[in-house]
Structure 1
Amino acid sequence: MDSTSRAPFSDVQITFLGTASAQPSSTRRHSSLALRLGSDVWLFDCGEATQNQLQKSIVKMGKIEKIFITHTHGDHIFGLVPLLAAILNGAGGSADGAEDPRARIDVSKPAVEIYGPLGTRAYVRSNLRYTHTLLGMPYIVHELRFPWDPQGDDPAFSRPHRAESPSGRNIRQADGVWQNIYQDKRVSVSAAPILHSVPCVGYVVHEAPVPGKMDPQKYMPDIIRTNSPRSVMSLLQQGQSVELSDGTVLHGPERRPGRKLVILGDTYDPSAMVPLAGDADVLIHEATNAHLPDHDSTTKPEDTFESVEARTRSHGHSTPQMAGTFAKRIGAKQLILNHFSARYAGDDDVDAEAKAVMGAIGALAAKEYGGEVTCARDFMTVDVSLAAK
């Protein structure tokens, strides 16, 4: 493996594009977040208006390489095809199917890769077909298949769009998870099923080990003594061993773990993620509903923490306490709550009432978790730093 390809990403940033559950509000849009890895952008979920949110954000839409869908509920996928049309030079075609010069596919461009559960491919195909949408660049859909899913595609939507690459995979589970559905020399993505009201997936993005902290003073005396070139330092920085002219061998610092991000879709039980998610640097977990009698005027007199949790579970979702409990279980270093009911306004950076509500939600999670909790709002950006080691 080329050592230079294992350098850490210059930046790893998460930008929340939409943090609402089910219904959008004036302060929250439907679910989507962007993960920036250096100059590359990956999206996780693509709810309605994601394209519009991207245009208002710091995220460069043209840098999107991959899109990961957690499940096919509309609030997580309704924005996918409009976004594809925007980033793949889309246009409206004719109903009679006549050849259109705009339908030519520029195969020199890399395909945008889409990952999602069964139905993702059919959803994209049907939307493109019935809206007569032309695309000028290719895309690929990989489906994460559950054990009970069929082998092939839905017969009603088995015909690929002309821009769809034939290299899309149907990825089967092994030992209950989807290991390394994507992997290169710098980062890998694995996934596991999480329990919701429909088949749903959680993703783990794991950076490969990166060079350790460099102490130049440890090496410079030997480099100066042997009149070795300063380029030796760059090799040592990559963790390599270098033999100097007098036979002295210098060993670069040991590699340190890369960053690990766990990004969950809607769930009331993500236990299947545990084998993949341990020691996550960041866990993004939904917290759709909370019992807030001191802050929420819609609280019913008969409600309790237990009854709200039971009702939330019955709809396939989590409370802040459930999120905090899972964060503690996997040893996450940071917990970010996401996917909030429309009752909870997302302008807590400027509105005192919203700040109090979100503070109370964060406190409920922190009580179970015991660590740092952040409540996401639209356009919030979080930097994920490497461990100091």
Structure 2
Amino acid sequence: MSNINITFLGTASAQPSRTRNHSALALRLDGDVWLFDCGEGTQHQIQKSAVKMGRISKIFITHTHGDHIFGLLPLLASRLNGAGGVIDEALDPRASGVLDEAEPLEIYGPSGTRAYVRTGLVYTHTLLSGPYIVHELQFPNDPPNPLAPLPLHSAEIPGRDIQQIDGTWLDVYRGASFSVSAAPIMHSVPCVGYVITEAPVPGKIDPKQYVPHLKRTGTPMSAMRRLQEGESVQLSDGTVLQGPSKRPGRKITILGDTYDPSPIAELAMLTDVLIHEATNAHLPGIDPETKVGDTYDIVEQRSKSRGHSTPQMAALFARRIDARKLVLNHFSSRYAGEYDPVTQHGDQRPAAKEIMEAIRTSAQPYFDGPVICARDFMSFDVQVSHSGQERDA
């Protein structure tokens, strides 16, 4: 049974602050680490967390705005032991066979991700000692490839151009234990939301239902392993024991910036954890920066016009897809985090905790499940379902 952990490395929108870094999230799946977005300073955040740089095997970019991608090149250089200089035959990873032997670091993102990575590495003369690969999720109206005149970087392996089918990108990655699908979500630029789905897991087994039969017929107790996997076991007296049916695995939906994530709704149905932006909120009497004359409708329309959401909008989408848990993320710099990594205790502004609680409570009436406001370095495990109808994190 896989362990799934979510660790927030950055929860700010647009500008970082003392208590919030730019957007980045680490999904730890047993020994592997998958990053979702990689804003400026992400590698520093990793060094302050329990996330291991060397375990990063995949990076998923939601969109190419700077607060979600400016940390990618520095992290790539650190992860793959980058150095500056002019390549020669002795350092050429293609000539040395490194690209054929090592497992590449995989990057997924919308059109433009490959150009950003390749040009950034080429024009900073960055050499990498390991391979990387960029897979692009193509939108129907993407412009022509801007990289045609620029050859592959010395450590780059050609990636896939993944086309939409019926408006989504199904199984952009599929492994034995987890798969990733994606869909466009509405923002001011092309933006992607990702759905991570665990393969079906063994059903809950009651030993009292099976052990007496195994003992009666002298069947080795090792048969319980097969039953746990949902297989059938025939006993010496002809009795056939059937293990419990497998249950759906856990599902996590991670959205980029959006004012309307409707295109991903079908993929995200019954998600265990929904991570949804809540950049702007209307908090009169609590947030001292509330504009005179503002109403919730004005704040919502202003937020939408900039491609963003309010806590209420996030909660309504969580209810629409029957999510089990909602985590609000990507907060305006005016909303300080409750924890200050510099002083190692709560933020010095007494209102910080009150403001974040007000943001949480503004969403709660619109969603029946738990609502949490993310903060930098917040970490939690996504728990295994105990029944087909009860799943929580």
TM-score, normalised on structure 2? 0.93
Question: What residue number does 1:89 align with?
Answer: 81
Q: CA deviation at 1:102?
A: 7.0
In structure 2, which of residues 192, 217, 225 is the aligned counterpart of residue 226 of structure 1?
217
Residue 253 (structure 1) aligned with residue 244 (structure 2): yes
Q: How far apart, CA to CA, are the structure 2 residues paired with 1:155 and 1:355?
A: 47
Q: 1:141-184 deviations in whole A, cap 9, x for unaligned?
A: 0000001124x631466411111112x10001011111111112
In structure 2, which of residues 8, 11, 26 is the aligned counterpart of residue 34 of structure 1?
26
Give secondary structure in 1 for the equivalent of 2:183. Answer: strand
Contact 1:66 / 1:114 at 8 angstroms: preserved in 2?
Answer: yes
Question: What residue number does 1:268 align with?
Answer: 259
Contact 1:89 / 1:137 at 8 angstroms: preserved in 2?
Answer: yes
2:63 partner amino acid: H
Residue 325 (structure 1) aligned with residue 316 (structure 2): yes
Question: What residue number does 1:112 align with?
Answer: 105
Give secondary structure in 2 for the equivalent of 1:101. Answer: coil
Question: What residue number does 2:129 align with?
Answer: 136
Q: 1:39-91 deviations in whole A, cap 9, x for unaligned?
A: 11100000000001001001111111110000000000001111111111211
Q: How far apart, CA to CA, are the structure 2 residues paired with 1:307 and 1:100?
A: 61
Q: How far apart, CA to CA, are the structure 2 residues paired with 1:99 and 1:195?
A: 46
Q: CA deviation at 1:185?
A: 2.2
1:237-248 matches, within 5 Å, as: 237-248=228-239
Q: How far apart, CA to CA, are the structure 1 residues paired with 2:116 and 2:90?
A: 24
Question: What residue number does 1:5 align with?
Answer: none
Residue 185 (structure 1) aligned with residue 176 (structure 2): yes
- The count of corresponding residues between Structure 1 and Structure 2 is 377
Give secondary structure in 1 for the equivalent of 2:319. Answer: helix
Q: CA deviation at 1:222?
A: 1.0
* Gap regions ≥5 residues in structure 2: 340-344, 388-393
Residue 350 (structure 1) aligned with residue 346 (structure 2): yes
Q: CA deviation at 1:345?
A: 0.6
Question: What residue number does 2:391 align with?
Answer: none
Question: What residue number does 1:217 align with?
Answer: 208
Question: What residue number does 2:140 align with?
Answer: 147
Question: What residue number does 2:384 align with?
Answer: 386
Q: Which moved more, 1:45-54 or 1:240-249?
A: 240-249
Give secondary structure in 1 for the equivalent of 2:38. Answer: coil
Question: What residue number does 1:79 align with?
Answer: 71
Give secondary structure in 1 for the equivalent of 2:73. Answer: helix
Question: What residue number does 1:59 align with?
Answer: 51
Q: 1:218-252 deviations in whole A, cap 9, x for unaligned?
A: 11111111111121011111111111222211111
Question: What residue number does 2:161 align with?
Answer: 170
Give secondary structure in 2 for the equivalent of 1:306. Answer: helix
Give secondary structure in 1 for the equivalent of 2:152. Answer: coil
Q: How far apart, CA to CA, are the structure 2 residues paired with 1:164 and 1:117?
A: 17
Q: How far apart, CA to CA, are the structure 2 residues paired with 1:135 and 1:239?
A: 46
Q: How far apart, CA to CA, are the structure 1 residues paired with 2:263 and 2:83?
A: 41
Question: What residue number does 2:38 align with?
Answer: 46
Q: CA deviation at 1:105?
A: 5.8
2:368 partner amino acid: G
In structure 2, which of residues 91, 94, 116 is the aligned counterpart of residue 101 of structure 1?
91
Label 1:121 to 1:105 Cα distance change in 2 as closer, same or farther (>3 A): farther
Contact 1:28 / 1:377 at 8 angstroms: preserved in 2?
Answer: yes
Q: CA deviation at 1:370?
A: 2.7
Q: 1:71-128 deviations in whole A, cap 9, x for unaligned?
A: 000000001111111111211123xx54453755623221111000000000000110
* Gap regions ≥5 residues in structure 1: 1-7
Give secondary structure in 1 for the equivalent of 2:157. Answer: coil
1:362-381 matches, within 5 Å, as: 362-381=360-379
Contact 1:46 / 1:69 at 8 angstroms: preserved in 2?
Answer: yes
1:148 partner amino acid: N
Label 1:45 to 1:105 Cα distance change in 2 as closer, same or farther (>3 A): farther
Give secondary structure in 2 for the equivalent of 1:45. Answer: strand
Contact 1:121 / 1:143 at 8 angstroms: preserved in 2?
Answer: yes
2:372 partner amino acid: T
Contact 2:24 / 2:35 at 8 angstroms: preserved in 1?
Answer: yes
* Identical-pair percentage: 62
Q: 1:186-229 deviations in whole A, cap 9, x for unaligned?
A: 11101000010100000000111100112111111111111111
Q: How far apart, CA to CA, are the structure 2 residues paired with 1:217 and 1:156?
A: 65
In structure 2, which of residues 111, 114, 117 is the aligned counterpart of residue 124 of structure 1?
117
Q: Which moved more, 1:259-268 or 1:214-223?
A: 214-223
Q: How far apart, CA to CA, are the structure 1 residues paired with 2:178 and 2:147?
A: 35
Q: How far apart, CA to CA, are the structure 2 residues paired with 1:45 and 1:157?
A: 27
